[in-house]
Amino acid sequence: MSRRRIGLALAAASFAWGLAASVAHATDISFWTWRQEDKAAYNELFADFTKANPDIHVKFESFPDENYPTIVSTALAAGKGGDVIHTHAYGWLEQFVKAGYFEPQDMTSVPSLANQPADALVAGTYRADKKVYSLPFASQTLGLFINKDVFAKAGLTPPTTWDEFISVSKALKEKGIYPLANGMGTSWFNEMFVAIFTNPFLGQDFVSDLTSGKTTFKDQRYVAALGKLLELRDYMPDGFEGIDYETAGQLFISGKAAMLAGGSFDIATYRTQNPAINMDFVAPPMAKAGDTPQVTKFFDGGYAVNAKSANKEAALKLVNWMGTKEFGDKFSALLGNISPIKGVVIKDELLAHVAKLNETAMPHINVVYFRFEKPTGSELLQGDITKMMSGSITPDQLAADLTNGLAKWYKPFQGK
């Protein structure tokens, strides 16, 4: 073999070795989520991350929403699963943390935690050790969608108080328009429906009394607020008991209904489904004029790091980046969600208005405080609310069922 050939072979070998080394040094991590519909946006965000961190590539992997808890828990139990896991908040997160599946996050591993407001961090914190396990990603706001064109055509003004709501609804009904699009056909949304319309009657004092153990759901303030829901039945579509949240959304965006109790998470969806829609998102009717407008707010979930991840360092790096203003700005712009990160600029006018409403928001009581043990407040409320709306149980019975069920594990309710 000539010297020249040996030289060429050595050069080729060094090139191949170098190439292999560079491939070996790139870290591939996966991001698991239930948000299939957000794939394009996340891939765009992850491309930005890789641009700043060329040695880390992120793969987006999504699973069906309904089966997500099962898929994630099974994978994590087997020591597998994504490196970064999209989690729900509060009680949902806690069961995974108890099992030791997630890595704690602190100011050393995830410095961007400093960008999160305190109420957001609660959503990703394990109550027992007060450590954060999931970096909050978005707040969701529950309120009232208004179809402005329908109101304009009917010559009416959107209501701000309960009395106005009833009188406006009567007028809309007389004109052959469904005043309120909602039905009772979707269990998970029924719980939100209750929060939307009862919270303005309950106020922050009730929440303080409830969480400090001074009162229970049997409190007359809660029973009276539930009673108000019964008045809504006359203004919901015919056969409302069987109308699901998707149908309600269609009635609203098609202009058949003037109002819809819903979540800010659907703003982007409704705009996609009907780009011509002229809508507003406002606080639900206040108990009386002069009260503070009160939407309902909760944190949807966060980003956790798999404790068994082989690429923990890269995963924490990604999570830390997901807590930066750079990520938050683009996240809000692409997904129409409100990022809790401090200083995030929300350019969309309606979304900025929702963020403003959040300043005086009430918490989603069941989700924030009563989903930690079995039976959860959600199970109990979702089971009873359809019965109450169809008249087979009274608000008093619902309040008693909720209190007695929660008393199984929530000590302040025991014996009350």
Site residues for another protein per CB under 8 A:
34, 65-70, 73, 76-77, 88, 91-92, 94-101, 183-188, 191, 237-243, 247, 251, 371-376, 378-380, 382-387, 390, 392, 401, 404-405
Judged by beta carbon, residue 150 or residue 243, the one nearer another protein is: 243
The two beta strands, 178-180 and 84-88, are: unpaired
Helix/strand number for the chain, H first, E second: 17, 9
- Nearest approach, Cβ of 352 to another protein (angstroms)? 28
- For residues 13 and 99, which CB has a smaller minimum distance to another protein in the complex? 99
Q: Which two tokens stand for residue 34?
A: 């239930």
φ, ψ (nearest 5 deg) of residue 146: -120, 125
Give the shortest CB-288-to-another protein separation in angstroms. 32
Q: Considering beta carbons, is residue 379 or 396 the nearer one to another protein?
A: 379
DSSP lists the bridge partners of residue 142 as 263, 296
Q: Specify the 3-state DSSP secondary structure of 256.
A: coil
Q: For residue 341, with 0-12 CB atoms within 10 Å meaning exposed, 13-18 middle and 19 or more buried, which class applies?
A: buried
Query: CB of residue 261 vs another protein: minimum separation in angstroms?
Result: 16
Tell me if 202 sits within 8 A of 362, measured CB to CB: yes
* In the complex, minimum distance from the CB of residue 156 to another protein, in angstroms, rounded to a whole number: 23
Which of residues 14 and 74 has its CB atom nearest to another protein in the complex? 74
Prior bond to 375 cis, omega within 30? Answer: yes
CB of 239 to another protein, least distance (A): 3
CB of 274 to another protein, least distance (A): 17
Q: For residues 58 and 380, which CB has a smaller minimum distance to another protein in the complex?
A: 380
- 87 close to 33: Cβ distance less than 8 angstroms: no
With contact defined as beta carbons under 8 Å apart, do 56 and 50 qualify? Answer: yes
Residues 6+ apart with CB under 8 A from 333: 347, 348
Indicate the residue among 115 and 378 with the shorter CB distance to another protein.
378
Residue identified by tokens 């880390």 is 56
- Comparison of 22 and 67: residue with beta carbon closer to another protein: 67
Closer residue to another protein, CB minimum distance, 112 or 337? 337
Give the strand pairing for 56-62 and 27-33.
parallel
Identity of the residue, 243 or 258, whose beta carbon is nearer to another protein in the bound complex: 243
Smallest distance, Å, CB 65 to another protein? 6
| Nearest distance in Å: CB 282, another protein | 25
Distances (CA, A) of 253 to 58, 125, 153, 171, 244: 36, 37, 15, 20, 15
Tell me how far apart the terminal alpha carbons of the chain are, to the nearest angstrom. Answer: 94
CB of 240 to another protein, least distance (A): 7
Radius of gyration of the chain (CA): 25
Q: What is the DSSP string of 343-381?
A: T----SHHHHHHHHHGGGPEE-HHHHHS-SSSSPHHHHH
Q: Tell me how far apart the alpha carbons of residues 219 and 396 are, in angstroms, rounded to a whole number.
A: 9
User: Which two tokens mark 366?
Assistant: 């069941």
Distance CA 96, CA 93 (A): 5
Q: How far is the CB of 242 from another protein (least distance, A)?
A: 3
- What is the length of the chain? 416
Q: How far is the CB of 37 from another protein (least distance, A)?
A: 15
343 Ramachandran zone, left/alpha/beta (phi>0; psi -120 to 50): left
Q: Specify the residue, 215 or 382, whose C-beta has the smaller distance to another protein.
A: 382
Q: Cβ closer to another protein: 69 or 104?
A: 69
